[in-house]
Amino acid sequence: MNPAYSVIFFTTASGAGYGLLAWLVALAVIGDAPAPGEIPWTWLAAHAVAFVLVSAGLLASTAHLGHPERAWRAFSQWRTSWLSREGVLAVLTFLPWLLHVAAGAGFGASGRGLTLVAGAAAAGGALATVWCTGMIYQSLPTIRAWHQPLVAPIYVLLSLATGGVLALAGLAWFGAATPWAAGLVIVLVALSGALKMRYWRQVDTAGRSYTAGAATGLGRYGAVRVLDPPHTQANFVMREMGFVVARKHARRLRRLAALLLFVAPLACLAALVGTMAVASPPVASGGPGMAPVAAASLALLATVCGVVVERWLFFAEAQHVVTLFYGADRA
């Protein structure tokens, strides 16, 4: 499949934004309510980052539309379409999200109940939106690499993992990272890494059951070879669905994605926990020490690069059944 940059940006940016939202809600649940009159500026700034990521991603996702001005129509078919469900949930999630932020910032302890209820609804909506994104791909029987039960779970886990690394980096920059927060993010990064490895194994070992013979119905007469193509230049079908990255490059890029998205962040986060163990309690004056900030920032940088490579590969490695008509022997 053609890896469209707008879709890669949308799924990675909005995914991380929704993951960050879920983590911020979790932090609000665990943390104390702000004192009356005190405005939690860093918490608000973190929500602003999540909001920008989610909104920029959603806006970018309309960039590949032929008629972006008609995008509102996509809210109508939630009964059958995962794309429509994604759109509906994305918009609905903004309501409890704004309520959560307003209540958390404005009402202090008196709005605690509202903050938590709205926060739970916002976090739930965020993860459900990402689940729908995954299901758009997972529900297509025409693309074997996507029609796998792990696709949507991995989308949600990677959203939580990338958002978690982002949240942890923010905490580290303000000297507020705690070992258990880092531990939770480590668990999520490791879990998403393990599932992604398992997914790659499944995709590689699952039989490619569709053949050119089955697609044309001519397999009963023997091997089916292209004699004459139906058109001299690539048409829409070939441009959109004929793109498959060379296997040799895919192997290298998979290793790169695994290194950047899982191995490097895990190493950096382990180092982060290590620095906290050494310098606990955190450096009293002059903010956090350099080591935790560097470790968390490196983890974030690797994660950002890694998730982009992972998402590019998700599209570029996927082979569509229609390629069988154009000379692929199996799909």
Partner 1 sequence: MTALPQAAPNQKKLGLVIDLDTCVGCQACATSCKEWNDGGAASGPLTDVDPYGKDPYGPWLNRVHSYDVGEGDTSRTVHFPRSCLHCETPACVTVCPTGASYKRAEDGIVLVNPETCIGCKLCSWACPYGAREYDTSGGVMKKCTLCVDRIYNTHLEPQDRQPACVKACPTGARHFGDLGDADSAVSKLVRERGGFDLLPAIGYQPVNKYLPPRARRDVTTAAPSPVAAHDRPAPQPDGTPIERLFSWADRLLSR
Between residue 196 and residue 215, which ones bind partner 1 under the rule CB under 8 A?
Answer: 209-210, 214-215
Of residues 109 and 218, the one with the C-beta less far from partner 1: 218
User: In b/e form, how buried is each residue of 253-288, taking b as 16+ CB within 10 angstroms?
Assistant: bbeebbbbbbebbbebbebbbebbeeeeebeeeeeb
Q: Does 229 bind partner 1 (CB under 8 A)?
A: yes
Instruction: Kindly state the smallest distance separating residue 217's Cβ from partner 1, in Å.
Output: 5
Binding mask 305-324 for partner 1 (x = CB under 8 A): ---------------xxx--
Of residues 143 and 172, the one with the C-beta less far from partner 1: 143
Instruction: Kindly state the smallest distance separating residue 153's Cβ from partner 1, in Å.
Output: 20
Alpha carbon distances (Å) from 316 to 46, 156, 242, 280, 320? 33, 20, 10, 45, 11
Of residues 210 and 314, the one with the C-beta less far from partner 1: 210
Q: Does 63 bind partner 1 (CB under 8 A)?
A: no
CA distance 319 to 147: 11
User: Token pair for residue 100?
Assistant: 């959560």
Q: Does 71 bind partner 1 (CB under 8 A)?
A: yes
Q: Does 237 bind partner 1 (CB under 8 A)?
A: yes
* One of 51, 94, 312, 325 touching partner 1 (CB under 8 A): 325
Q: Does 92 bind partner 1 (CB under 8 A)?
A: no
The span of 14-22, 64-72, 99-107, 187-195 binding partner 1 (CB under 8 A) equals 64-72
Of residues 48 and 218, the one with the C-beta less far from partner 1: 218
The span of 69-77, 193-201, 293-301, 304-312 binding partner 1 (CB under 8 A) equals 69-77
Q: Which residues pair with 211 in a beta bridge?
A: 330
How many CA within 13 A on the CB side of residue 55?
Answer: 8
Of residues 115 and 323, the one with the C-beta less far from partner 1: 323
Alpha carbon distances (Å) from 129 to 72, 196, 235, 320? 17, 20, 33, 25
Instruction: Kindly state the smallest distance separating residue 126's Cβ from partner 1, in Å.
Output: 20
* One of 33, 51, 55, 81 touching partner 1 (CB under 8 A): 81
Sole residue written with tokens 């990064």: 189
User: Token pair for residue 119?
Assistant: 């926060």
Q: Are 196 and 318 in contact (CB under 8 A)?
A: no
List the end-to-end C-alpha distance of the chain, in Å, as a whole number: 12
The span of 141-149, 156-164, 180-188, 248-256 binding partner 1 (CB under 8 A) equals 141-149
How many residues interact with partner 1 (rule CB under 8 A)? 56
CA distance 190 to 263: 8
* One of 36, 207, 221, 248 touching partner 1 (CB under 8 A): 221
CB neighbours of residue 36 within 10 Å? 9
Q: Which residues pair with 320 in a beta bridge?
A: 143
Length of the chain measured in residues = 331
Q: Does 329 bind partner 1 (CB under 8 A)?
A: no
Q: Does 227 bind partner 1 (CB under 8 A)?
A: yes
Alpha carbon distances (Å) from 219 to 193, 206, 207, 212? 40, 21, 18, 7
DSSP state of 255: H
Instruction: Kindly state the smallest distance separating residue 312's Cβ from partner 1, in Å.
Output: 17
Residues in contact with partner 1 by CB under 8 A are 1, 64-68, 70-71, 73-77, 79-84, 87, 136, 139-143, 209-210, 214-218, 220-231, 233-237, 240-241, 320-322, 325
